[in-house]
Chains A and B, each alone.
Chain A
């Protein structure tokens, strides 16, 4: 039985305080829980198998004590934290876990998890680095393998209709998240950046229908709320690598600024385009997960096989969606943030700054090591940046 007693944002808080609780309740009722790393594993396949898709996160408030043995300190601090939690048994409730080639360290992390955590089922989905037709076809084949492995392990065959239905449900979730983000367009926004993040963390812990119900309740509540964020001098966009804890956004919003938009993987990145409903549903899924998701782990090119690179045209091709966010959400400054040792995001920094400059926007780049302590020195830098753009 579900122990839910709260609704809307209160329910979001409750879930975030103890994320595994609901998943474990569902498990007690006979559901299987499938953990997944990053936004590349196809949640629609999990839903079509009636599994609970459960995104696995680290915990920046917990000191890494066990993962040092397997992951050196000079690799992604988020993945180190995640492995640490796994080694401490905090993900023992998972029936399976799906990895993808999100980045090179992410791929090696998958091996590390498989060997040391031993979740009953695991699968690694390779992802091409390019997005042209051949890569899409190849990606579709990889998803076919994933589907086959899941069907074989869980003993259920996924019909095309069932997969299409799952796509529709997740598209509805994407649409609801966009509706939620619409509430960030007014000045002041009706929901803060930190609150938005918590809503998304919560829905990434729930079956899709339950997440959609929660989103609808949150949207209704936020529309009518009187205790939302206050008007501030700056409207910011936060770009970069994973943020799964509200502390960084709370720190930024403790100054004279509202975070009105983001481009991160627990934020808008997974939700701002729908999966096309194609005759063979794997076609739409293969395209969406390879092409539509704009993570720097993928090599995006203006046109396959260009003879000459026009730098600004290339930047526009890669980052114009950010220009749309800037316009739609009336952004007046951008914070580029990355976890230390995140190479995929690191290479983008000068280019993205050039792009933003071409729009007349100021930006700042900050790095942190996935601990709250790291935010101390960053406070001064963020404050200084806000003074510049004010």
Chain B
């Protein structure tokens, strides 16, 4: 081990590096596709789009992910400034502003990549695939791109009732049937747009391979309950893109995840921690991370903060779909699992019945949502309110308050942003974090008095 490696406070997984490198390859693939005259699509992650695009031989490009890349490399600022100059308010989604500014610049250059764009940039698409999932930006932003590009936009719906309304008789199944119909309409549109036929066998293979890939990724994350935590959130964030931002090679990615699974298993068995000092505080990160300031977590690791889990970007829970042959239905039932089902598989039958009965009478902060606090024996929550992302911010305080109320687990809230480097102050954040340690120590005592395990 080199001296430099010894100094690192986070014990990075070796199996993470090839997963992280995959995204670079994806950008290169999109550029090569464009050079070869192959069309590419811009789409939103978790939008169902990629398996369909793969099955009709269109390369997927993810402007959201490109936003994180621009942020991490410091390249976002001129794009953000251009977006503002175009008249878009500066509080809009940072990823969207980055993309709007980038596209406006590309339009100026007759669709050449703006010089200095990280990873060689993203080429002009032939279709935009928006999504109703997650936030309004994911279709409003693509619609706003119509100011610069004459490419068609298809918006894939995503029903969003997950409370007691989802438990009403027939409600979830109706949303499943709606999505199946939507996606079949999307496939028909792609055929019309490209003049090619969907390769349904390829779609089926792709969906199944994706499910297999995600199952391994899911298993890795389940192992993270171990004490000491074997995998830090930084490794999670570096590895998740391979699952979230789909590649055309899910089998290859699965192998990389399998390698990671073995490494994490080895760490669990041998009690090897993700941080190179004593694990004093087991942390959960709530929100979207400051991509441009991830080194901040190294400073926290030096103080014994181990980020053992996080609340965003996890894969769907594995589900048995035996007997369902239609690949579209398989995909929908996999990605769009109902509240009732998730409660059933996460709790004992008695607990599940009680939770559903209570929800039916009056919504409460779902025990499903709070379950990781208990499973991972969390000491503190790190909330990250974002100036440019309402969706990842609006419920943070509610979650934090619920953690305190239910499990006596306190939280710290540090404002920042996903893209704009100016909105995160690491010095001030570290000062607050140091003070927060006393709070976490205090609540450890309270939990002990309340008879909680940790």
Check: A330 CB closer than 8 A to any chain B CB. no
Of B92, B155, B362, which one neighbours A114 at CB under 8 angstroms?
Answer: B362
Whole-angstrom distance between the Cβ of B301 and the nearest chain A Cβ: 26
Contact: B189 with A138, CB < 8 Å? no
Bound complex: CA A58 to CA B157 (Å): 30
Interface residues as binary, A117-150 with B (CB distance below 8 Å gives 1, 0 otherwise): 0100011111011100011011001100100110
Q: A310-B150, A367-B89 are in contact. Are A130 and B155 (CB under 8 A)?
A: yes
* Cβ contacts under 8 Å, A299 to chain B: 130, 139-140, 143, 155
Interface residue tally on B, bucketed by range:
35 or more
* Cβ contacts under 8 Å, B386 to chain A: 74
Of B171, B181, B390, B395, which one neighbours A145 at CB under 8 angstroms?
Answer: B171
Bound complex: CA A354 to CA B134 (Å): 28
Whole-angstrom distance between the Cβ of B232 and the nearest chain A Cβ: 26
Whole-angstrom distance between the Cβ of A42 and the nearest chain B Cβ: 14
Contact: B362 with A118, CB < 8 Å? yes
* Cβ contacts under 8 Å, B357 to chain A: none
Residue of A nearest to B132 (CB): A129
Contact: A347 with B141, CB < 8 Å? yes
Contact: A124 with B385, CB < 8 Å? no
Interface residues as binary, A327-368 with B (CB distance below 8 Å gives 1, 0 otherwise): 000000000001011011011111101100000000001010
Bound complex: CA A311 to CA B149 (Å): 8
Check: B345 CB closer than 8 A to any chain A CB. no
Check: A309 CB closer than 8 A to any chain B CB. yes
Contact: A347 with B88, CB < 8 Å? yes
Q: A74-B393, A114-B362 are in contact. Are A341 and B151 (CB under 8 A)?
A: no
Check: B32 CB closer than 8 A to any chain A CB. no
* Cβ contacts under 8 Å, A114 to chain B: 163, 362-363
Check: A280 CB closer than 8 A to any chain B CB. no
Bound complex: CA A296 to CA B393 (Å): 21
Contact: A130 with B157, CB < 8 Å? yes
* Cβ contacts under 8 Å, A101 to chain B: 160-161
Interface residues as binary, B119-133 with A (CB distance below 8 Å gives 1, 0 otherwise): 000000000001010
Bound complex: CA A196 to CA B71 (Å): 46
Check: A238 CB closer than 8 A to any chain B CB. no
Number of A-B contacts (CB under 8 A): 178
Residue of A nearest to B417 (CB): A74
* Cβ contacts under 8 Å, B140 to chain A: 296, 299, 343-344, 347-348
Contact: A72 with B87, CB < 8 Å? no
Whole-angstrom distance between the Cβ of A313 and the nearest chain B Cβ: 10
Contact: A347 with B393, CB < 8 Å? no
Check: A291 CB closer than 8 A to any chain B CB. no
Check: A105 CB closer than 8 A to any chain B CB. yes
Whole-angstrom distance between the Cβ of A13 and the nearest chain B Cβ: 35
Check: A279 CB closer than 8 A to any chain B CB. no
> Would you list which residues of chain B between 299 and 356 have a CB under 8 Å from chain A?
none
* Cβ contacts under 8 Å, A105 to chain B: 390-391, 394
Q: A346-B88, A346-B89, A347-B92 are in contact. Are A70 and B174 (CB under 8 A)?
A: no
Residue of B nearest to A341 (CB): B91
* Cβ contacts under 8 Å, A341 to chain B: 91, 390
Check: B396 CB closer than 8 A to any chain A CB. yes
Contact: B364 with A350, CB < 8 Å? no
Residue of A nearest to B104 (CB): A350
> Which 4 pairs show the lowest CB-CB distances between chains A and B?
A347-B140, A350-B87, A108-B394, A126-B161
Q: Given A71-B394, A343-B136, A349-B89, 17 more contacts at CB 8 Å?
A: A69-B397, A74-B385, A74-B387, A74-B393, A114-B363, A115-B402, A122-B362, A145-B168, A305-B152, A307-B152, A307-B192, A309-B151, A341-B91, A343-B140, A346-B88, A349-B87, A350-B88
